[in-house]
Chain A
């Protein structure tokens, strides 16, 4: 069991700073996911933890020991790469045994460990094959097997599923989750796919441009995004944003735009100020005209059978995505009356920060 702590990590390449003071704590045995758009520094951060990149300043603690100056080979971590990085000239067995051989472990133990890892991952049949004779999913398993044979202090995953097809990705996601249950190590997982992040993580850290935008449990991030970036990033399809004006109506506020006039229970707003209203597709209901907040035209629909997505346009609203459970027949261009779930309306200030709902 291993605890990893990053303190005030900075990283620059020449003059360009890419990580601007990241603090992070990975609790022992937890599955932490680093998520963010490409170029946000999540892979760099993982490589910093692995020891493949040097930091410009800050501290990295693994189980309380400062490791910033310890090379990757001695940190005791295992990493699964996006490209799997299997040694093409070695058999699967050799690939998995390589690390143990480097640790000068005796042959018998190596064989036992490799075989038990192979059994766990169901790759026993391929042990004598070369990587090029394996499918993508099998290679993925071997890469994971290579990591688990030597009981590392922690596992690092660098977008391990991004080379797999959609179906296999879902399967492997479940297997990874089960694997974490079974072996219970500390795991740090980098992905740009927020679905992977939501499904796998005990804790998600959203990175944006080298800063930590928000860290927390998956549903915390979903329910209470701290800023407009996290709100837009977590959740699929994305949260809708509408520019609104807050108008003070004796104690409570109304949110007003061309198409919208909505009373809100947000308290601490500035009168006559522009805010971004955020509402998730699943928090918009189709309703009768008399109860509606908003009238829109349907641009097109995605009929998935169990659910339906409407892509709508309204006055001053470029696109509004609406989720509807079940099926709904509607033609392009038809009108639709919508109602927002009041409790699920998020408001963001112009600098992107979320407006708290608490009364103060």
Chain B
């Protein structure tokens, strides 16, 4: 572990020459930090915001850290009131609670003397904040709303759909790359041609088909229509074309049936491409919004994405829940990507051919 750490440090602090910094080092690090800021910034912002209170999220100007204004209960008022540091005319500072704001003035009350209200110009007051993490944002949706169920639905759709996609696509790719049959090129053009048709165009007919099969409000209605993706077929086919022809011929000479060639030779050798497709498929399925929104209308079959959408009411949006559950939605896919990405790079080199 310590070796890994030291290696990471070594890589992270690399420079062009051993002892001094070259201008290209400054440039590279500037560029890299900019990249990190651009790509990672929004995620960090999301993560920090998901720990703020609803008021903290809507506050202007926004804060980076989850700070929230301290509120106190004042006698005679139903709700807790936010407190401010108010600069008095004589220059001294006093803590007052705000009842409401009227134009450029605020109607405030001294919590120690709740009977008397004062008018304060808004530029004379300053919010008092404390660092406060709102774990409730995470706990509430998981308890009050069925987010665990949504999570389960999303996982089921993602896993099952990805497995089906991989099997169907790899079989199609095998047929279009290795198996010889009449009309192969026509079939290929046909499959690739469907890439040109966006989902929005076939949305209604596909919905009609799904409805006729009685799969509305069923997870299978989400899984099956998109199980065979032309992109996946094309990706796998291109990879299989690069497999050495002689390997396939050797298998033919070894009495292998087409199924044995597919299952025992081509598929294991296509693992890198299949891993890529698996990552794509998982991302597509997990993040899919439009099609599940159309097929699933009962909350017990909601996926995470649809569940998130439910926090947007007609009049108000529960941003704190939206942000926290977005975080929850992001995590699994980030973990899966981190795990699978190494498959993309390995395995390609070891074809065993000279």
Nearest CB of chain B from residue A160's CB, rounded to whole Å = 12
Q: Is A88 part of the contact surface with B, judged by Cβ < 8 Å? A: yes
Q: Which of A69-77, A108-116, A187-195, A198-206 lines the interface with chain B? A: A69-77
Measured between beta carbons, the chain A residues less than 8 angstroms from B352 are 84, 86-89, 130-132
Give complex CA distance A86, B253 in Å. 12
In the complex the two chains form, is A102's CB within 8 Å of B353's CB?
A: no
In the complex the two chains form, is A87's CB within 8 Å of B253's CB?
A: no
Measured between beta carbons, the chain B residues less than 8 angstroms from A87 are 247, 250-251, 265, 352
Q: Which of B2-10, B45-53, B255-263 lines the interface with chain A? A: B255-263
Binary per-residue interface labels of chain A (113-148) against chain B in the complex, 1 for a CB within 8 Å, 0 otherwise:
000000000000000001110001001000000100
Q: Is B252 part of the contact surface with A, judged by Cβ < 8 Å? A: yes
Size range of the chain B interface in the assembly: 20 to 34
Give complex CA distance A103, B255 in Å. 7
In the complex the two chains form, is B255's CB within 8 Å of A83's CB?
A: no
Which residue of B252, B264, B353 contacts A84 across the interface (Cβ within 8 Å)? B353
In the complex the two chains form, is B350's CB within 8 Å of A73's CB?
A: no
Measured between beta carbons, the chain B residues less than 8 angstroms from A99 are 253-256
In the complex the two chains form, is A73's CB within 8 Å of B269's CB?
A: no
Nearest CB of chain B from residue A44's CB, rounded to whole Å = 13
In the complex the two chains form, is A85's CB within 8 Å of B269's CB?
A: no
In the complex the two chains form, is A85's CB within 8 Å of B256's CB?
A: no
Measured between beta carbons, the chain A residues less than 8 angstroms from B247 are 85, 87
Measured between beta carbons, the chain A residues less than 8 angstroms from B255 are 73-74, 99, 102-103, 150
Measured between beta carbons, the chain A residues less than 8 angstroms from B257 are 73, 102
Q: Is A231 part of the contact surface with B, judged by Cβ < 8 Å? A: no
Nearest CB of chain B from residue A67's CB, rounded to whole Å = 14
Nearest CB of chain A from residue B261's CB, rounded to whole Å = 9
In the complex the two chains form, is B254's CB within 8 Å of A98's CB?
A: yes
Measured between beta carbons, the chain A residues less than 8 angstroms from B264 are 98
Q: Tell me whether A73 and B353 are in contact in the complex, defined as CB-CB below 8 angstroms, given that A52-B249, A89-B268 are known contacts.
A: no
Measured between beta carbons, the chain B residues less than 8 angstroms from A52 are 249, 252-253
Give complex CA distance A136, B353 in Å. 10
In the complex the two chains form, is B253's CB within 8 Å of A83's CB?
A: no
Give complex CA distance A73, B253 in Å. 5
Q: Which of B351, B352, B354 has the most CB of A within 10 A?
A: B352
Which residue of A72, A82, A86 contacts B252 across the interface (Cβ within 8 Å)? A72
Measured between beta carbons, the chain B residues less than 8 angstroms from A73 are 252-257
Q: Is A337 part of the contact surface with B, judged by Cβ < 8 Å? A: no
Q: Is B332 part of the contact surface with A, judged by Cβ < 8 Å? A: no
Q: Is B314 part of the contact surface with A, judged by Cβ < 8 Å? A: no
Nearest CB of chain A from residue B178's CB, rounded to whole Å = 13
In the complex the two chains form, is B265's CB within 8 Å of A72's CB?
A: no
In the complex the two chains form, is A83's CB within 8 Å of B350's CB?
A: no
Measured between beta carbons, the chain B residues less than 8 angstroms from A150 are 255
Q: Is B214 part of the contact surface with A, judged by Cβ < 8 Å? A: no
CB-CB contacts below 8 Å: B73-117 with A: none
Q: Is B123 part of the contact surface with A, judged by Cβ < 8 Å? A: no
Nearest CB of chain B from residue A84's CB, rounded to whole Å = 7
Nearest CB of chain B from residue A143's CB, rounded to whole Å = 8
Q: Tell me whether A84 and B254 are in contact in the complex, defined as CB-CB below 8 angstroms, given that A72-B249, A89-B268 are known contacts.
A: no
Measured between beta carbons, the chain B residues less than 8 angstroms from A77 are 253
Q: Is B121 part of the contact surface with A, judged by Cβ < 8 Å? A: no
Q: Is B246 part of the contact surface with A, judged by Cβ < 8 Å? A: yes
Measured between beta carbons, the chain A residues less than 8 angstroms from B225 are none
CB-CB contacts below 8 Å: B308-353 with A: 350-353
Q: Is A38 part of the contact surface with B, judged by Cβ < 8 Å? A: no
Q: Is B41 part of the contact surface with A, judged by Cβ < 8 Å? A: no
Kindly report which residue of chain A lies nearest to residue B271, judged by CB atoms.
A89
Measured between beta carbons, the chain A residues less than 8 angstroms from B268 are 89
Binary per-residue interface labels of chain A (166-179) against chain B in the complex, 1 for a CB within 8 Å, 0 otherwise:
00000000000000
In the complex the two chains form, is B249's CB within 8 Å of A84's CB?
A: no
Q: Tell me whether A98 and B249 are in contact in the complex, defined as CB-CB below 8 angstroms, given that A84-B354, A130-B352 are known contacts.
A: no
Binary per-residue interface labels of chain B (56-87) against chain A in the complex, 1 for a CB within 8 Å, 0 otherwise:
00000000000000000000000000000000
Q: Is B35 part of the contact surface with A, judged by Cβ < 8 Å? A: no
In the complex the two chains form, is B254's CB within 8 Å of A71's CB?
A: no
Q: Is A163 part of the contact surface with B, judged by Cβ < 8 Å? A: yes
Nearest CB of chain B from residue A76's CB, rounded to whole Å = 9
In the complex the two chains form, is A88's CB within 8 Å of B350's CB?
A: yes
Kindly report which residue of chain A lies nearest to residue B264, judged by CB atoms.
A98
Q: Is A211 part of the contact surface with B, judged by Cβ < 8 Å? A: no
Binary per-residue interface labels of chain A (277-308) against chain B in the complex, 1 for a CB within 8 Å, 0 otherwise:
00000000000000000000000000000000
Q: Tell me whether A83 and B256 are in contact in the complex, defined as CB-CB below 8 angstroms, given that A88-B351, A88-B352, A89-B269 are known contacts.
A: no
Measured between beta carbons, the chain B residues less than 8 angstroms from A72 are 249, 252-253
Give complex CA distance A72, B256 in Å. 10
Q: Is A228 part of the contact surface with B, judged by Cβ < 8 Å? A: no
Measured between beta carbons, the chain A residues less than 8 angstroms from B265 are 87
In the complex the two chains form, is B354's CB within 8 Å of A136's CB?
A: yes
Binary per-residue interface labels of chain A (145-166) against chain B in the complex, 1 for a CB within 8 Å, 0 otherwise:
0100010000000000001000
Q: Is A79 part of the contact surface with B, judged by Cβ < 8 Å? A: yes
Give complex CA distance A83, B353 in Å. 6
Nearest CB of chain A from residue B268's CB, rounded to whole Å = 4
In the complex the two chains form, is B252's CB within 8 Å of A85's CB?
A: no
Which residue of A71, A88, A139 contacts B269 across the interface (Cβ within 8 Å)? A88
Q: Tell me whether A83 and B246 are in contact in the complex, defined as CB-CB below 8 angstroms, given that A102-B255, A132-B350 are known contacts.
A: yes
Q: Which of A50, A87, A103 has the most CB of B within 10 A?
A: A87
Which A residues are within 8 Å of any B CB, using their own CB? 50-52, 71-74, 77-79, 81-89, 98-99, 102-103, 130-132, 136, 139, 146, 150, 163
Interchain residue pairs with CB less than 8 A apart (29)? A50-B249, A50-B253, A52-B252, A52-B253, A71-B252, A72-B249, A73-B257, A74-B255, A77-B253, A78-B253, A79-B249, A79-B250, A82-B246, A83-B244, A84-B353, A85-B244, A85-B246, A87-B247, A87-B250, A88-B269, A88-B350, A88-B352, A88-B353, A98-B254, A98-B256, A98-B264, A102-B256, A130-B352, A131-B352
Further 9 A-B residue pairs, CB within 8 A, beyond A86-B352, A89-B352? A72-B253, A83-B353, A85-B353, A87-B251, A98-B254, A99-B254, A102-B255, A136-B354, A139-B354
Which B residues are within 8 Å of any A CB, using their own CB? 244, 246-247, 249-257, 260, 264-265, 268-269, 350-354
